[in-house]
Amino acid sequence: MESVSHQQARLLLHNKFVVVLGDSIQRSVYKDLIVLLQKDKYLTVRQLRSKGEMSFELDCLVEGGCLNEMNNGTLYREVRQFQSDHHLVRFYFVTRIFSTYMLSIIKDFRQGLKPDVVIVNSCVWDISRYNPKWIDDYKENLKLFFDELKMVLPQETLVIWNLTMPLGERIKGGFLVPEIEHKAPQLRYDVIEANFCGWTLANCCEMDVLDLHFQFRFSLQHRTKDGVHWNAIAHRRITALLLRHIAQAWGVMLTADEVPDQKSFYDCSQKPAAAKVNNYSEEFATDSLPRAYLSFEENPEPPPYCREDAENLSPAVKPQWPRPRRKHRSKRKQPRYGFNYMPPHYFEPYKDQHDHRHHQLVMRNRHDRPHYAPYSHHRPVRHPFHGYQY
C-alpha cells in the first residue's frame, strides 16, 4: 500500500470541509488526518491515548470533553475542529449511529456549512451498550441515519462508511464497563455480523464503503494490547486508504507537486539572460523553436538521411527501414489506432455494483461527483478528437 505525503493530503483537501463521526478509533482517524495536513509525522502514544483535551495540534475543543465531566457513559460528548487557511476538519464523538444527538449533528449540516466529505462509523457501542438483541435496532438506526443524511447533504458530498476493524479475543476499553464484560468473548463475532449489516444498507443507500476489517485482517501486530485500538502506523495506513479513495471518487490523481508562487505567473519584469547550457548554443536553452521554423519563406534544409539518399549508401551505414507487416487473414477485423482510438483511463470509477469485488481496496463509488481541485491533475472526462493520451 503506497503512503500519502503531507503535500498530497494538503493539495487533495484544499478548500474542503471534512467531517469525521464515530468513536475513539474515529477520533484517532481525525487526529492523524490533521497531523498529516500539517507535517509528515506520526501520532505519538500519548496523543493516541488522550481524549477531551483543550487543544491538539492547533485544533480546538468546541464542546464536551474536559469542558464537561469526563466519563465512559453513553452521554459523553466531544466535538473538535481544526481550521487553517484552506482546510476545515471537524470531529463528533458519537456512541450511537442514530439518536437525538445525531439529529442535532445533522441539523448543523442543514443550517450550516455543507461538508465535502463525511467519514463515519459507529458499531461497537451500538451492539454492546444498549440492547442485548441489537441486530434489529442497529439495522433500523442505520437505515434512519442514511436516509436523514441523504435528505440533508447535497449529492456532491462524499459519504464513506468505514467498516469496524477486527477486535481481539481478549478486549478491554472505556466502552467495556463491568455490566457488559460478559459480552467480550463474543463481541468480535458480533462485529463481523454488524459489518455485514452496515455494508448491505450502505450499498442500498448508495454510500461508499471502506472495508477496514478486510484491510487489517493480516495486520493484527499493529493492534494495541487492549484488543480494540491500533497504533500510529495502522492509523497512517487508514488515512492513506481514505485519501486515495477520496481521490478516486473525485476523479483526480494524487500529486506531490508544490503549489507555485502566484507572483511567478505574472511577474515578467526580470527575464533570465540567455546563456549556454552544457556548452550548447542559446537556442537549446529554451523551449521555443528556432527562428527558421517559424517562417514560411525560409525553408530549413532537409535532414541528411532521406529515403532517396539512403539507396546510395553502403550496407554498413544504410538505415534499416521497417519492413511492411503482413496482413492478417483472420476474419476478425483488427483494431486500428487512428483518430478513433480511445486510450484507457488511468483509473475508472466503479460503474457496476459488482466491479468492487475485483479491486484490492474493496471500495466503491456510486456516481460521478462534480469536484473542483485547482492543484490536482484531473483525469479528462472526454478524450480529445485526436486521441492523444494525457
Query: Who wins on pLDDT, 283 or 18?
Result: 18
pTM, entire model: 0.69
CA within 13 Å, CB half, 13: 33
pLDDT value for 368:
52
Angstrom distance (rounded) from CA 80 to CA 82: 7
pLDDT on residue 370: 53
Residues with Cβ within 8 Å of 370's Cβ and at least 6 positions away in sequence, in order, are 156
pLDDT of residue 72: 87
Cβ neighbour number for residue 356 with a 10 Å cutoff: 17
Residue 57 is classified by DSSP as T
Task: State the DSSP code for 287.
Answer: S
Average pLDDT over residues 40-60: 95
What is the band of 84 on the pLDDT scale with cuts at 50, 70, 90?
Answer: very high
**What does the pLDDT look like over 209-222, one tens digit per residue?**
999 999 999 999 99
pLDDT of residue 101: 97
CB 65 within 8 A of CB 78: yes
pLDDT grade, residue 346 (50/70/90)? Answer: very low
Residue 267 has pLDDT above 90, yes or no: no
Tell me the per-residue pLDDT of 280-323, one tens digit each, with 9 for 90 and over.
344 333 444 344 433 334 444 444 444 444 455 444 444 444 55
Q: Which of 26-35, 153-162, 258-267 has the lowest mean pLDDT?
A: 258-267
What per-residue confidence (pLDDT) applies to 359? Answer: 45
> Is the pLDDT higher at 98 or at 309?
98
pLDDT of residue 257: 53
CB 187 within 8 A of CB 157: no
CATH class of domain segment(s) 6-253: alpha beta
How does the average pLDDT of the chain come out, rounded?
77
Give the alpha-carbon dihedral of 273, 274, 279, 284, to 10 degrees: 140
pLDDT at 349 over 60: no
H/E stretch holding 159 reads: strand 158-162
* DSSP track, 317-356: T---PPPPPPPP--SSPPP--STT--PPPS-----STTGG
Q: Residue 21: phi, psi to the nearest 5?
A: -120, 135
pLDDT at residue 381, as a whole number: 45
Confidence check: pLDDT of 344 > 50: no
In whole angstroms, how far apart are CA 246 and each of 119, 209, 240? 10, 11, 10
What's the average model confidence in pLDDT over 226-236?
A: 95
Confidence of residue 132 (pLDDT cuts 50, 70, 90): confident
Q: What confidence score (pLDDT) does residue 180 get?
A: 79
| Extents of the domains making up the chain | 6-253
Of 58-67, 117-126, 341-350, where does mean pLDDT reach its minimum? 341-350
